[in-house]
Amino acid sequence: MKFPPLLVLVPALITGSASAGPWKDLADFTGKDDTGGLVFKSPPVEERFRNPWPEAWEREFQQRARGIIAAQMEVKANPGNTYFENEKRSYGYLMAHAVGGRGLAAVKDLQVEDAQQDEWHRETRGIDYYACFTLKHQMRKYFLFGGLLEPAYRQRMFDGAKAWTARDPLRRPHYTFTQPKEGWGPDARNSWVDVRSTENLYLMRLTSVYLMAEETGNRETTELYKKQLLDYTRTLYRVGMGEWDSENYHGHSLAPLVNLYDFAKDPEIKSAAKACLDFMATIGAVKYWRGGFNGPTKRDYNHPQPFGGSAPGMLWVWFGDSPRPNTHWESDEVHLITSAYRPPAAVMKLARKEFAKPLELFAAKPSYGATTGYQADSKPEYLETQYFGHSFQMGSLTGGTSVDGGDVNGFKILVHDSKDGARALQAVPGPDPAFPGSPLYQKGKVAAENRVAQHGNLALWLVRDGASPWSWVVPEAVKISEKNGVTFLECERTWVALRPLGASAFQRDGDLTAKIAAGEKPPFPGHQVLAARGSGGAFCGVAVEVGEKESHGSFEAFQAGVLEAEVDLSKLAEGVVQYKAADGKWIGFHWNDDPRQLGVWRDGKRRDLARDAGFLYRAGDGGPAPVHAKWGEGAIYVEAGGEAFGASVDGEGRAEFANGRPADVRPRFAP
């Protein structure tokens, strides 16, 4: 059935009234600050759910917001391309256009009839409540822009949502389904809502069904999804995020949560939404730096830096702290710009690295389905080391980069860049420099199982393939030199030494450099490739040492120290290597098939990985850490730049928070 732009509704179908949203005029969406600058307003949220922000940060935020909206006004959004989830970009851009100057013309485009209105969406009055990527935009469209929608269209959204949530729409038999087939539509999956359950899609579905069930008065579905949201929040605080630190998807999890935060009526759910956002802002702040995003990461999609994926791109809207603005849009930015949510002050300062450096942070990460499966008693799958210098971050997993079919990037270095903010140095024990992060579910990109032992600015990385090729991908601006078989990378403020272990020296490869820098969509334009190959045998690898002015004084001193380092490869065939730096700091590596039992020796003492598995975050030296959380306890504490934040979630998913001075917050939330 085709729905005309102004539908004459049959009275029997109307069982409630659609909300008009907080504002009914375009002028309500924007205002002026005390300098006359344009600001974008957010829906009203009670003060108890807000994190205090200084006015200076809000001015910075609004300045970034103005730049984003102005840039997105130049992006063409095709309102007619509504097949399946194709609105996942256009709806976000159209909302940006609406507040940015196109006004009601953009709002009209948001109401274009869906391409499958009488195919998939017949029972929901022609409104697409199916695809998760569409759902997150439908929520802000209805709840924030509802007062600008045509009354009949707004009522259709309400009536369609009431039918949609009359029962749990997940796996509810759909009239288009005949038998399973390829595809993700209801005709293939037999459901009234998208069944895909990667964490970001799960959150889009969960928050949207809840909001519309609550809005339309379907109490049974509301209570069902409230329980799931509280279970998710409870689990998140105990084991972390299953789709952890994803460069590609972290931002896509933020958008549905700000919808829940802004529009949920139930105080428990609004509090849970804030708890989730506070947690995800915190874990994002650990790896965000000056527009870049450090590894290790789950589902990284090999994004170049800075602003390569949704994680740094979306987090920049809050955190800023980059010499240049983002230009890589996800179309979710409008959700953060028009939301009342702001991260805690301590989390902002964590993102801006306002803590004493150098500092080492240990972290543990869960299995992929732990959080969405509410497995609050599950154990960590990955163990991470993160080191913060004055001009770089280096991070690794004991399990290294995942092999064929995997999606984990196990090693990465971010370095300071005065022009771009931060630049990434990435590597892989494999032949294809287009995949220096994860293999991205493909075969042949990583030679074999590999492991990484890290001790601050030192790392040993071995692959169980003694003839494996190696590829490092670094910016062209990095100066490359070689001395005594050691390759040196001179970045703007950071120096990196690559010493081959049972392999040839790392040298610039012109053919591979051309491969990643050329073509219609080059994966790494402006980058170069350093390649090496193992000499044969059971294992080969690389020793990495990183220095800077604060640690070594000069590049010449760093280079001299590296060349004085002692390396013991006498047991390389057994997967055993030792590296002693010129300053006496040394690291030992003993291969283990179980990455959680890797032998990591640091200055003569074996690292207790079993102990580290008991913490989501803790300081590497046992001292104070800017972020601390015990595995399974349900609380997190952040302290940076003289600010503190604490949050805890009890066994029922109920959250409490505190912002303030460390002396006031620490006793309640710190270990």
pLDDT digits (tens, 9 = 90+) for 21-68: 888 899 999 999 988 889 999 999 999 999 999 999 999 999 999 999
pLDDT digits (tens, 9 = 90+) for 112-135: 999 999 999 999 999 999 999 999
Among 86-90, 185-189, 312-316, 520-524, which is the least confidently predicted range? 520-524
Q: In the predicted model, is pLDDT for residue 8 greater than 70?
A: no
Q: In the predicted model, is pLDDT for residue 6 greater than 80?
A: no
pLDDT digits (tens, 9 = 90+) for 405-417: 899 999 999 999 9
The pLDDT assigned to 253 comes to 98
State how far the Cα of 566 lies from the Cα of 564, in Å rounded to an integer. 6
> Global pTM?
0.96
User: pLDDT-based confidence at 20, cuts 50/70/90?
Assistant: confident
Give 473's contacts (C-beta < 8 A, 6+ positions apart). Answer: 425, 426, 427, 433, 436, 516, 524, 527, 528, 529
Q: In the predicted model, is pLDDT for residue 13 greater than 70?
A: no
Domain ranges of the chain: 30-347, 384-606
pLDDT digits (tens, 9 = 90+) for 351-385: 999 999 999 999 999 999 999 999 999 999 999 99
The pLDDT assigned to 15 comes to 53
The pLDDT assigned to 376 comes to 97
User: pLDDT-based confidence at 261, cuts 50/70/90?
Assistant: very high
Mean pLDDT along residues 80-92? 95
Residue 112's alpha-carbon distances to 5, 126, 364, 571, in angstroms, are 8, 11, 46, 68
* Domain 30-347 indexed as CATH 1.50.10: yes
pLDDT digits (tens, 9 = 90+) for 312-337: 999 999 999 999 999 989 899 999 99
Q: In the predicted model, is pLDDT for residue 486 greater than 50?
A: yes
Q: In the predicted model, is pLDDT for residue 656 greater than 70?
A: yes
Among 40-49, 343-352, 512-521, which is the least confidently predicted range? 512-521
The pLDDT assigned to 518 comes to 87
For the chain, percent of residues with pLDDT exceeding 70: 98
State the Cα angle at 476 between 474 and 478, rounded to 5°.
70
User: pLDDT-based confidence at 489, cuts 50/70/90?
Assistant: very high
Q: Hunting for tokens 């990591």 — which residue is that?
A: 600
The pLDDT assigned to 303 comes to 87
Of the candidates 233, 239, 241, 280, the residue with the CA atom closest to the CA atom of residue 614: 239
Do the beta carbons of residue 403 and residue 446 sit within 8 Å? yes
State the Cα angle at 460 between 433 and 283, rounded to 5°.
75
